[in-house]
Amino acid sequence: MPKLPPYFAALDLNQMLTDHPIGDDFVQRFSKISKDELRAQQNRLFMNCVRRAWDVPFYQRLWGNAGAKPGDVKSLDDITKLPVFSKSDLMDSLAANPPFGDFGGLDFKDPNHVPAVMHTTSGTTGLPQVLLFGPKTREMQNLLVGRAYLWQGMTGADVVHSVYGHGMVNAGHYMREAVLHFTNATFMSAGTGVETRSVQQVQNMQRFGATVIVGFVDYLKRLAQVANEEGIIPGKDIKIRMISGHFGRESKADISAMWGGAKCYDWYGVGDTGIISSEGPDQNGMYVFEDAHYVEMLDVDTGEPVADGESGDIVTTVLFKDDIYPMIRFNTHDVSAFEADNSNGLVNFRRIQGILGRSDNMVKLRGINVFPHGIGGVLNAQPAFKGEFFCHAVRDAQGRDEMTVKIEVEGERSQPLKDAFETLLKTRIGVEMNVELHAPGALSDLTEVDKRQKPKRLLDERFKKA
């Protein structure tokens, strides 16, 4: 028998599919699993991760500084004995141990090290963070995205148009692998508007008969606008039947209407962890893939667990990351809440309500927490809103924090319309904000919506030095 190359030799696909099934096997197993059975699987996988983590310098330091010792954690019940960490800790690791940090647990100078897939974050606010995936980790993340797509209705007859970015960032490569390895659909790697011009994208969608779009919805709105400008009518000339992406507080009904009535599904994950939760065909909240993730919801200020229905930071432990770069109690700083009622679900997993915003990108105005990324969902209530906005936070000479919301609108930019938006924001969010009205496309230099898979939504100059 020939010797397998290192990447494939490090995989046990049969075991992965046994622990984490997809397709009909996924629904059959997890619609029947008991809480005790699920907990037993979580505990078995968790202890594998803990054993691996103690071999990694990053965790030896993080846990040792918190007073934890090997043997303290005997089961998942002991997880709170371990500290939470976040991106800032990873960036400290990179600074102290360039260029890869010490959280991967690898010696890259050793020619026989475990194979590693490397990407980085976009680096919008500084040095890009390194992302590392072992073969098992990489294919598990692909598997779970494939699971979500199949559950939502993707089939081998679909042509999938992806607007996720490529280059050093992870998403575009990750989605291509997920569709290729775990579905039988045909994948179109369009990328952002910089990688493939928006006009060319809609032309390709028409030419190749795209039926599914995947990506961040901000750019999908722009593509629908470009299609109409080119005389290519979504729903007629481009027959999209399904959109799977990241909606935050955006209206799925509005995005669906832009694309001729396509069914829209939300899912959530971050670069380090892969997909964490996903809507199913019932569209009844986002099911946490609890066979692969142990998720806690912790108060943004105190770090204490919050009750179901109350918002907090999503803190996840990735139960399959036991090859390289374990992730145990990683604070994503994305804010959500567990559904208070998890009965009548399609599978026996807890559900989250969706992403409300980011706690590390939060602006506190007169005692009210404002999440800039969530403002778009509020603005959708005003028909004149064209989908693009940008927030600018400043601190005046008296120390009072103010935020101006710049909004692209259709038609006349009148004082009554400005007043209507200001009233809407105050009513829905609970604090006064200033509004500026702009023509469609006028904010593109600020948001960079045509260049980035995640548009910029905030310029925070409250702490700018004079």
Question: 93-121 pLDDT, tens per residue?
Answer: 999 999 999 999 999 999 999 999 999 98
How many percent of the chain have pLDDT more than 70?
97
Total domain count for the chain? 2
Same domain for 318 and 368, yes or no, is no
Q: Containing H/E element for 9?
A: helix 6-9
- Name the range with the highest mean pLDDT among 146-155, 356-365, 375-384: 146-155
User: What is the rounded average pLDDT of the residues 370-389?
Assistant: 86
Q: Which of 357, 381, 405 is the last residue of a domain?
A: 357
Q: What is the pTM of this model?
A: 0.83
Question: 229-248 pLDDT, tens per residue?
Answer: 999 999 999 999 999 999 87
State the Cα–Cα distance between residues 168 and 145, nearest whole angstrom. 20
Whether 312 is covered by a domain: the verdict is: yes
Same domain for 344 and 368, yes or no, is no
Given a cut of 70, whether residue 408 has pLDDT beyond it is: yes
Strand boundaries in 199-356, DSSP class E:
212-216, 242-246, 263-270, 274-279, 286-288, 293-298, 312-318, 330-336, 351-352
Whether 465 is covered by a domain: the verdict is: no
CB atoms near residue 102 (< 10 Å): 16
Q: Which of 337, 357, 377 is the last residue of a domain?
A: 357
Same domain for 78 and 198, yes or no, is yes
Q: Find out whether 64 and 54 touch, Cβ atoms under 8 Å.
A: no
Own/partner pairs, 391-395, CB within 8 angstroms, 24+ separation: 391/363, 391/457, 391/458, 391/459, 392/458, 392/459, 392/461, 393/363, 393/458, 393/459, 393/460, 393/461, 393/462, 394/461, 394/462, 395/461, 395/462, 395/463
State the Cα–Cα distance between residues 265 and 252, nearest whole angstrom. 8
List the CATH number of the domain containing 432. 3.30.300.30
Same domain for 141 and 234, yes or no, is yes
DSSP state of 5: P
Same domain for 340 and 375, yes or no, is no
State the Cα–Cα distance between residues 296 and 135, nearest whole angstrom. 26
pLDDT bracket for residue 23 (50, 70, 90): very high
Whether 98 is covered by a domain: the verdict is: yes
Same domain for 266 and 401, yes or no, is no
Whether 466 is covered by a domain: the verdict is: no
Residue 56: predicted pLDDT: 97
Domain that holds residue 96: 1-357
Same domain for 451 and 310, yes or no, is no
List the CATH number of the domain containing 125. 3.40.50.12780
Same domain for 143 and 32, yes or no, is yes
Given a cut of 70, whether residue 31 has pLDDT beyond it is: yes
Same domain for 419 and 304, yes or no, is no
Residue 367: predicted pLDDT: 61
Whether 416 is covered by a domain: the verdict is: yes
Q: Which of 357, 384, 405 is the last residue of a domain?
A: 357
Same domain for 89 and 122, yes or no, is yes
State the Cα–Cα distance between residues 336 and 311, nearest whole angstrom. 5
Q: Answer with the residue of higher pLDDT: 333 or 21.
A: 21
Q: Containing H/E element for 386?
A: strand 385-395
Question: 440-450 pLDDT, tens per residue?
Answer: 989 988 988 87
Token pair recorded at residue 56: 């990694």
Given a cut of 60, whether residue 125 has pLDDT beyond it is: no
Token pair recorded at residue 31: 């619609």
DSSP state of 356: -
Q: Answer with the residue of higher pLDDT: 408 or 301.
A: 408
Residue 187: predicted pLDDT: 98
Given a cut of 60, whether residue 384 has pLDDT beyond it is: yes
Question: 262-306 pLDDT, tens per residue?
Answer: 999 999 999 999 999 999 999 999 999 999 999 999 998 899 999
Average pLDDT, the chain: 92
User: What is the rounded average pLDDT of the residues 120-124?
Assistant: 75
pLDDT bracket for residue 126 (50, 70, 90): low
Same domain for 297 and 413, yes or no, is no
In sequence order, the 6+-apart residues with CB closer than 8 A to the CB of 146 are: 22, 178, 179, 181, 182, 183
Given a cut of 80, whether residue 452 has pLDDT beyond it is: no
Given a cut of 90, whether residue 356 has pLDDT beyond it is: no
Same domain for 62 and 170, yes or no, is yes
